[in-house]
Amino acid sequence: MTGFVHESLPMRVVFGSGAVDQVAEEVDRLGLRRVLVLSTPRQGALAARVTDLLGERAAGTFDGARMHVPVATVAAAESVVAEVGADGCLAIGGGSTIGLAKALSLRLGLPSLAVPTTYAGSEMTPVWGLTEDGRKTTGRDPVVLPSAVLYDPDLTHALPAAVSGPSGLNAIAHAVEALYAPNGTPVVSAMAERGVRDLAAALPMVVADGADAAARSLALEGAWLCGACLGATTMGLHHKLCHVLGGMLDLPHAETHAIVLPHVAAYNLPAAPEADAVLRRALDTEDVPGALRALAGAVGVPEGLRALGVAQEDLARVADEVLAAPYSNPVAPTRADLEAILDAAWRG
């Protein structure tokens, strides 16, 4: 790599056990007075805890966040913002909730804070996504980047093994794609190597013992680094495939990424030897796709897209959509390439 441009994103990170207890202080630092707390229905107890911590700074709650950020969900949240007079929002949860906060920032200009409880990494990126009529649209805008992120490993202890494993593989996918992105830098490569190494070491321990505090902390650090890699670079074929699969077929986000990742890596890495070398070191292997498949199996990732309910006849429509608006990639895939990748991911 002989020349590059690296732009650091404006991001404040508070990391550590009990970090969530500093949420009111972080809201005050941003000068916000009426914050809307966002969550999914399942995160209601955490949302209530954060609301208590915020005290009079909490304007209300919206617990309707949904996967893939449907436009209708955003509209419902916008109504609550107007009703309570919110001047900012705080997302507690995973990618669905953080994605909703981003949509509100994009459409209303609201500043946001994030308290991640999974390894999604969305909180580290200026990437937004909205789904309408089975099509997921994505974009990049610095306005959607959270102003502060509070990483509290204690909040991930309740994350079930069946969610922890795929969520961590989703984070690894961010780093893998960043390594062969056209705007990668040495800084990104260093973060990616550390992030992948941390997650590969931590995830089997997290799945074996969800109360392992050291493993939870290491996994969350890895997710932070991998998310930051995605935030600094452009996305490639892996993310395009997963965005289309998720938006078109309403598939679970993390599981889709975890299943697809080894197959796209097998396709791309021969054309990206520097990325392959970094991942070989991070995973301590000579076979990166094989190591990713083994890690996925070890942490309970479903075997193939068919396990998520995808019908084989759906794959042609997915290929059509990917070809219609491709992302930058080390290799420009043909229809035959896409069909082969999708078929392999379907079979598992």
Predicted local distance difference test score (pLDDT) of residue 135:
86
- The distance between the two most distant Cα atoms of the chain, rounded to a whole number of Å, is 58
Predicted local distance difference test score (pLDDT) of residue 66:
94
Three-state secondary-structure class, residue 121: coil
Predicted local distance difference test score (pLDDT) of residue 2:
64
C-alpha span between 127 and 99 (Å, rounded): 9
Name the token pair of 249. 């077929």
Render each residue's pLDDT in the chain as its tens digit; 348 residues.
Answer: 567 787 777 779 999 999 999 999 999 999 999 999 999 999 999 999 999 999 999 999 999 999 889 999 999 999 999 999 999 999 999 999 999 999 999 999 999 999 999 998 889 989 999 999 888 888 999 999 999 999 999 999 989 999 999 999 999 999 999 999 999 999 999 999 999 999 999 999 999 998 999 999 999 999 999 999 999 999 999 999 999 999 899 999 999 999 999 999 999 999 999 999 999 999 999 999 999 999 999 999 999 999 999 999 999 999 999 999 899 999 999 999 999 999 999 999
C-alpha span between 236 and 243 (Å, rounded): 11
- The pair phi, psi for residue 216, each rounded to 5°, is -60, -40
Predicted local distance difference test score (pLDDT) of residue 201:
98
3 class by beta-carbon count within 10 Å (0-12 exposed, 13-18 middle, 19+ buried): exposed
Three-state secondary-structure class, residue 304: coil
Three-state secondary-structure class, residue 13: strand
Three-state secondary-structure class, residue 88: strand
C-alpha span between 298 and 307 (Å, rounded): 16
C-alpha span between 260 and 166 (Å, rounded): 11
Cα-based distances in Å from 207 to 103, 199, 223: 32, 12, 15
Predicted local distance difference test score (pLDDT) of residue 10:
75
Name the token pair of 222. 């890895």
CB half-sphere exposure, 291, CA atoms < 13 A: 18
Pairing of the two strands 58-62 and 35-38? parallel
Name the token pair of 231. 């935030």
- Within its chain, how far is the Cα of 15 from the centroid? 18
Helices 186-208 & 161-179 angle (0-180, nearest 10): 160
C-alpha span between 302 and 305 (Å, rounded): 8
Q: Amino acid identity of 24?
A: A
Contact 204, 143 (CB under 8 A): no
C-alpha span between 238 and 329 (Å, rounded): 9
In this structure, the dihedral spanned by the alpha carbons of residues 24, 11, 46 and 29, taken in order and rounded to 10 degrees, is 10
